Protein backbone atom coordinates (compact mmCIF):
# COMPACT_ATOMS: atom_id res chain seq x y z
CA UNK A 1 0.00 0.00 0.00
CA UNK A 2 1.27 3.41 -0.89
CA UNK A 3 1.83 5.64 2.18
CA UNK A 4 2.87 8.86 0.49
CA UNK A 5 3.92 11.93 2.46
CA UNK A 6 1.02 14.26 3.28
CA UNK A 7 0.20 17.09 5.65
CA UNK A 8 -1.30 14.90 8.42
CA UNK A 9 1.64 12.47 8.42
CA UNK A 10 3.54 12.47 11.72
CA UNK A 11 6.94 10.76 11.64
CA UNK A 12 8.50 9.49 14.85
CA UNK A 13 11.96 9.69 16.41
CA UNK A 14 14.17 7.11 14.69
CA UNK A 15 12.45 7.53 11.33
CA UNK A 16 13.47 9.10 8.03
CA UNK A 17 11.04 11.66 6.61
CA UNK A 18 10.80 14.21 3.81
CA UNK A 19 9.78 17.44 5.53
CA UNK A 20 9.11 21.03 4.52
CA UNK A 21 11.21 23.90 5.84
CA UNK A 22 8.82 26.46 7.34
CA UNK A 23 11.31 28.94 8.83
CA UNK A 24 15.04 29.69 9.08
CA UNK A 25 16.82 31.70 11.79
CA UNK A 26 20.21 31.92 13.51
CA UNK A 27 19.68 28.52 15.19
CA UNK A 28 18.94 26.60 12.00
CA UNK A 29 15.95 25.56 9.93
CA UNK A 30 12.59 24.51 11.33
CA UNK A 31 10.58 21.70 9.75
CA UNK A 32 6.88 20.92 9.73
CA UNK A 33 6.52 17.39 11.12
CA UNK A 34 2.80 17.50 11.83
CA UNK A 35 3.05 18.71 15.42
CA UNK A 36 2.40 22.09 17.08
CA UNK A 37 6.12 22.67 17.69
CA UNK A 38 8.28 22.61 14.55
CA UNK A 39 11.32 20.32 14.35
CA UNK A 40 14.76 21.92 14.54
CA UNK A 41 17.32 21.13 11.84
CA UNK A 42 20.50 22.70 13.32
CA UNK A 43 23.13 24.17 11.01
CA UNK A 44 25.56 21.48 12.24
CA UNK A 45 23.21 18.78 10.87
CA UNK A 46 22.72 20.39 7.45
CA UNK A 47 24.47 19.29 4.27
CA UNK A 48 23.26 22.44 2.51
CA UNK A 49 21.35 25.54 3.59
CA UNK A 50 17.71 24.83 2.64
CA UNK A 51 15.48 27.91 2.31
CA UNK A 52 11.92 28.15 3.62
CA UNK A 53 9.53 26.23 1.39
CA UNK A 54 12.04 23.54 0.36
CA UNK A 55 11.62 19.91 1.40
CA UNK A 56 14.54 17.98 2.86
CA UNK A 57 15.06 14.33 3.73
CA UNK A 58 16.11 13.95 7.33
CA UNK A 59 16.56 11.44 10.12
CA UNK A 60 14.73 12.37 13.32
CA UNK A 61 16.77 11.64 16.43
CA UNK A 62 17.12 12.77 20.05
CA UNK A 63 19.92 15.21 20.83
CA UNK A 64 22.06 15.04 23.99
CA UNK A 65 19.27 16.70 25.95
CA UNK A 66 16.59 14.31 24.72
CA UNK A 67 14.98 16.81 22.32
CA UNK A 68 13.68 15.71 18.90
CA UNK A 69 16.13 16.97 16.27
CA UNK A 70 16.54 16.52 12.52
CA UNK A 71 19.67 15.67 10.55
CA UNK A 72 20.30 15.75 6.81
CA UNK A 73 23.43 13.64 7.37
CA UNK A 74 21.64 10.36 6.68
CA UNK A 75 24.84 8.34 6.30
CA UNK A 76 25.49 8.92 10.01
CA UNK A 77 22.38 6.81 10.71
CA UNK A 78 21.72 4.66 7.62
CA UNK A 79 24.20 1.93 6.67
CA UNK A 80 24.82 -0.01 3.45
CA UNK A 81 25.27 -3.43 5.04
CA UNK A 82 21.91 -4.80 6.17
CA UNK A 83 21.44 -7.22 9.06
CA UNK A 84 18.48 -9.38 10.03
CA UNK A 85 16.81 -9.34 6.59
CA UNK A 86 16.35 -12.06 3.99
CA UNK A 87 15.03 -12.32 0.45
CA UNK A 88 11.24 -12.06 0.40
CA UNK A 89 10.92 -9.99 3.59
CA UNK A 90 8.37 -7.18 3.52
CA UNK A 91 9.93 -3.83 4.46
CA UNK A 92 9.09 -0.14 4.81
CA UNK A 93 10.71 2.09 2.18
CA UNK A 94 11.38 5.81 2.01
CA UNK A 95 12.39 6.79 -1.51
CA UNK A 96 15.67 8.67 -1.88
CA UNK A 97 17.76 9.87 -4.82
CA UNK A 98 18.00 8.46 -8.32
CA UNK A 99 21.17 6.75 -9.54
CA UNK A 100 22.28 5.37 -12.90
CA UNK A 101 21.04 1.90 -11.89
CA UNK A 102 17.83 2.82 -10.12
CA UNK A 103 16.41 4.60 -7.11
CA UNK A 104 17.93 4.45 -3.63
CA UNK A 105 15.58 3.83 -0.74
CA UNK A 106 15.89 3.77 3.03
CA UNK A 107 14.81 0.33 4.29
CA UNK A 108 13.06 0.15 7.68
CA UNK A 109 14.71 3.50 8.54
CA UNK A 110 18.04 1.65 9.01
CA UNK A 111 19.59 0.48 5.73
CA UNK A 112 20.15 1.67 2.18
CA UNK A 113 18.73 -0.43 -0.65
CA UNK A 114 18.23 -0.13 -4.40
CA UNK A 115 15.16 -0.39 -6.65
CA UNK A 116 16.26 -0.99 -10.26
CA UNK A 117 14.77 1.23 -12.97
CA UNK A 118 13.60 -1.79 -15.00
CA UNK A 119 11.52 -3.07 -12.08
CA UNK A 120 9.61 0.14 -11.38
CA UNK A 121 5.94 0.19 -12.45
CA UNK A 122 5.86 4.00 -12.27
CA UNK A 123 8.09 6.96 -11.40
CA UNK A 124 8.74 7.29 -7.68
CA UNK A 125 8.85 10.57 -5.79
CA UNK A 126 11.63 11.48 -3.39
CA UNK A 127 10.35 11.08 0.16
CA UNK A 128 7.53 8.72 -0.84
CA UNK A 129 6.81 6.07 1.78
CA UNK A 130 5.60 2.67 0.64
CA UNK A 131 5.84 -1.05 1.26
CA UNK A 132 8.46 -3.06 -0.57
CA UNK A 133 10.23 -6.39 -0.50
CA UNK A 134 13.81 -7.58 -0.23
CA UNK A 135 14.63 -9.06 -3.62
CA UNK A 136 18.15 -10.11 -2.72
CA UNK A 137 20.74 -9.67 0.01
CA UNK A 138 24.07 -9.45 -1.82
CA UNK A 139 27.32 -10.93 -0.51
CA UNK A 140 28.42 -7.51 0.72
CA UNK A 141 25.14 -7.11 2.67
CA UNK A 142 23.65 -4.54 0.30
CA UNK A 143 19.97 -4.86 -0.52
CA UNK A 144 18.28 -5.18 -3.90
CA UNK A 145 14.62 -4.26 -3.54
CA UNK A 146 11.32 -4.81 -5.30
CA UNK A 147 7.85 -3.29 -4.98
CA UNK A 148 6.24 -6.69 -5.54
CA UNK A 149 6.77 -10.02 -3.76
CA UNK A 150 8.16 -13.08 -5.50
CA UNK A 151 6.89 -16.61 -6.07
CA UNK A 152 3.50 -17.65 -4.72
CA UNK A 153 3.08 -14.35 -2.89
CA UNK A 154 3.56 -12.50 -6.19
CA UNK A 155 0.86 -14.59 -7.86
CA UNK A 156 -1.50 -13.90 -4.97
CA UNK A 157 -0.79 -10.18 -5.22
CA UNK A 158 -1.49 -10.17 -8.97
CA UNK A 159 -4.80 -11.99 -8.45
CA UNK A 160 -5.78 -9.47 -5.76
CA UNK A 161 -4.88 -6.55 -8.06
CA UNK A 162 -7.15 -8.03 -10.75
CA UNK A 163 -10.04 -8.47 -8.30
CA UNK A 164 -9.61 -4.97 -6.89
CA UNK A 165 -9.57 -3.48 -10.40
CA UNK A 166 -12.70 -5.42 -11.36
CA UNK A 167 -14.51 -4.13 -8.28
CA UNK A 168 -13.43 -0.58 -9.11
CA UNK A 169 -14.62 -0.83 -12.73
CA UNK A 170 -18.14 -2.22 -12.31
CA UNK A 171 -16.99 -5.80 -12.66
CA UNK A 172 -15.34 -5.58 -16.09
CA UNK A 173 -11.79 -4.97 -17.32
CA UNK A 174 -10.91 -4.53 -20.98
CA UNK A 175 -7.74 -6.58 -20.50
CA UNK A 176 -6.88 -10.02 -21.83
CA UNK A 177 -3.86 -12.23 -22.46
CA UNK A 178 -3.52 -10.40 -25.79
CA UNK A 179 -3.27 -6.95 -24.16
CA UNK A 180 0.14 -5.23 -24.46
CA UNK A 181 2.43 -5.74 -21.47
CA UNK A 182 2.83 -1.97 -20.91
CA UNK A 183 -0.96 -1.51 -20.74
CA UNK A 184 -1.30 -4.27 -18.15
CA UNK A 185 1.62 -2.85 -16.16
CA UNK A 186 0.18 0.68 -16.23
CA UNK A 187 -3.29 -0.43 -15.15
CA UNK A 188 -2.49 -3.13 -12.60
CA UNK A 189 1.19 -2.67 -11.73
CA UNK A 190 2.03 -6.31 -12.54
CA UNK A 191 3.79 -8.03 -15.42
CA UNK A 192 1.90 -9.64 -18.29
CA UNK A 193 3.02 -13.12 -17.21
CA UNK A 194 1.77 -12.51 -13.66
CA UNK A 195 -1.52 -11.19 -15.07
CA UNK A 196 -2.01 -14.28 -17.25
CA UNK A 197 -1.30 -16.58 -14.30
CA UNK A 198 -3.71 -14.58 -12.13
CA UNK A 199 -6.63 -14.70 -14.56
CA UNK A 200 -6.02 -18.41 -15.14
CA UNK A 201 -6.20 -19.03 -11.41
CA UNK A 202 -9.28 -16.82 -10.96
CA UNK A 203 -11.02 -18.52 -13.90
CA UNK A 204 -10.42 -21.96 -12.37
CA UNK A 205 -11.80 -20.65 -9.08
CA UNK A 206 -14.90 -19.44 -10.99
CA UNK A 207 -14.35 -15.89 -9.80
CA UNK A 208 -14.14 -14.46 -13.33
CA UNK A 209 -15.24 -15.28 -16.85
CA UNK A 210 -13.01 -14.57 -19.83
CA UNK A 211 -14.85 -12.78 -22.63
CA UNK A 212 -13.77 -11.70 -26.10
CA UNK A 213 -13.00 -8.11 -25.06
CA UNK A 214 -11.83 -8.65 -21.49
CA UNK A 215 -12.60 -10.30 -18.17
CA UNK A 216 -15.74 -10.05 -16.09
CA UNK A 217 -16.32 -10.62 -12.38
CA UNK A 218 -18.62 -13.51 -11.50
CA UNK A 219 -21.25 -12.40 -9.03
CA UNK A 220 -22.81 -14.77 -6.53
CA UNK A 221 -26.09 -14.75 -8.47
CA UNK A 222 -24.21 -15.80 -11.65
CA UNK A 223 -23.16 -19.18 -10.21
Q: What is the pLDDT of residue 216?
A: 94
Using the 3D structure, point to which of 76, 105, 127 is the last residue of a domain. 76
Whether 132 and 163 map to the same domain: the answer is: no
Whether 214 and 172 map to the same domain: the answer is: yes
DSSP string, 28-78: EEEEE-SSSSPEEEEGGG-SS-PPTT-EEEEEEEE-TTS-EEEES-GGGT-
Say if 83 falls within a structural domain: no
Q: What is the pLDDT of residue 118?
A: 86
Contacts for 161 with CB less than 8 Å, ≥ 6 apart: 188, 189, 190, 198
* Dihedral pair phi/psi, residue 44, rounded to 5°: -70, -20
Whether 142 and 164 map to the same domain: the answer is: no
Q: Say if residue 5's pLDDT is above 90.
A: no
Q: What is the pLDDT of residue 87?
A: 86
Say if 81 falls within a structural domain: no
What are the pLDDT digits (tens) for 112-134?
A: 999 999 888 789 999 999 999 99
What are the pLDDT digits (tens) for 144-180?
A: 999 887 766 677 778 889 999 999 999 999 998 889 9
pTM of the model: 0.67
| Whether the Cβ atoms of residue 197 and residue 206 lie closer than 8 Å to each other | no
Whether 155 and 218 map to the same domain: the answer is: yes
Q: What is the pLDDT of residue 109?
A: 97
Say if 194 falls within a structural domain: yes
Say how many CA atoms lie within 13 Å of 130 toward its Cβ: 20
Say if 163 falls within a structural domain: yes
CA dist., res. 78 & res. 85, Å (int): 15
Q: What is the pLDDT of residue 191?
A: 82
**pLDDT class for 2, splitting at 50, 70, 90?**
very low
**Sheet architecture: strand order including 214-217:** 172-173, 214-217, 208-211
Say if 191 falls within a structural domain: yes
Say if 46 falls within a structural domain: yes
Say if 172 falls within a structural domain: yes
Say if 2 falls within a structural domain: no
Rg over alpha carbons for the chain, rounded to the nearest Å, is: 21
DSSP 2: B
Domain that holds residue 169: 151-222
Question: The domain that contains 67 carries what CATH number?
Answer: 2.40.50.140
| Whether the Cβ atoms of residue 30 and residue 21 lie closer than 8 Å to each other | yes
Whether 135 and 104 map to the same domain: the answer is: yes
Using the 3D structure, point to which of 76, 99, 128 is the last residue of a domain. 76
Mean pLDDT of the chain: 90
Q: What is the pLDDT of residue 37?
A: 95
Q: Say if residue 4's pLDDT is above 70.
A: no
Q: What is the pLDDT of residue 220?
A: 63
Domain count, the chain: 3
Amino acid sequence: MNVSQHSSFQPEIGEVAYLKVVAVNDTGAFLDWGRPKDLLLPYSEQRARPPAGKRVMVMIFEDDQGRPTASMRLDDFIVDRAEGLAAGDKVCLVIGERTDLGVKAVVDHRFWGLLYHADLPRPLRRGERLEGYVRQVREDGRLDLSLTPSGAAKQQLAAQRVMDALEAHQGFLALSDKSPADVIKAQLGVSKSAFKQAIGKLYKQRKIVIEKDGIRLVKASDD
